[in-house]
Amino acid sequence: MRNVKEPVMTPFTLKTHRCIAAIILALVCLAITPSTAVAGPDVATTARCAKACRECAKACDACYKHCSAMVKAGNKEHAKSARISEDCGLICVVTAKICEHNGPMSAAICEACLKACTACGTECGKSPGMAEMAACTVACEKCAAACKTVK
């Protein structure tokens, strides 16, 4: 038998797989039907939403890193917020990309993003004394509000 080397998952490929998983999760959660695939909303609305989503993704990433460090330091109560902020950030990135080109699925992905930001903001809001978590809460609230305007 030959010694076959297993492929190594680099951080880039792991992030790519997580992004793809976030897209699939968002679409499955919405149970998208052909009737939801309509012409995109107006460009100004989706541009504002994309900007809010990008800012939220950055805040979620910072929160994820903070919470992951807290978990590694033994604060296991931050495990849930780490996972939620990671997923929320990925969903925000996908939402921003779709809204940036005013895609016909903008409203559908914004609905998923709204749900993710609501969950993430609620979870991170439980620790308002931590700067990263407070910033994540604020960014999630702004992103959720922007997503509500995309119809």
Q: Where are the domains of the chain?
A: 42-148
0.85 exceeded by pTM: no
- Distance between CA atoms of residues 66 and 127, nearest Å: 12
Q: What is the pLDDT at residue 33?
A: 46
Q: What is the pLDDT at residue 24?
A: 63
Q: Tell me: the pLDDT tens digits for 58-101?
A: 999 999 999 999 999 999 999 999 999 999 999 999 999 999 99
Q: Which of 13, 22, 10 is nearest to 90 (CA)?
A: 22
Supply 145's token pair: 């509000």
Q: Which of 100, 147, 151, 96 is nearest to 121 (CA)?
A: 147
Q: Which of 45, 35, 66 is nearest to 110 (CA)?
A: 45
How many CB atoms within 10 Å of residue 78? 25
Q: Return the residue matching tokens 């921003």.
A: 96
Residues of the chain with confidence (pLDDT) below 50: 1, 4, 7-10, 31-37
Is the CATH number of domain 42-148 1.20.1270.360? yes
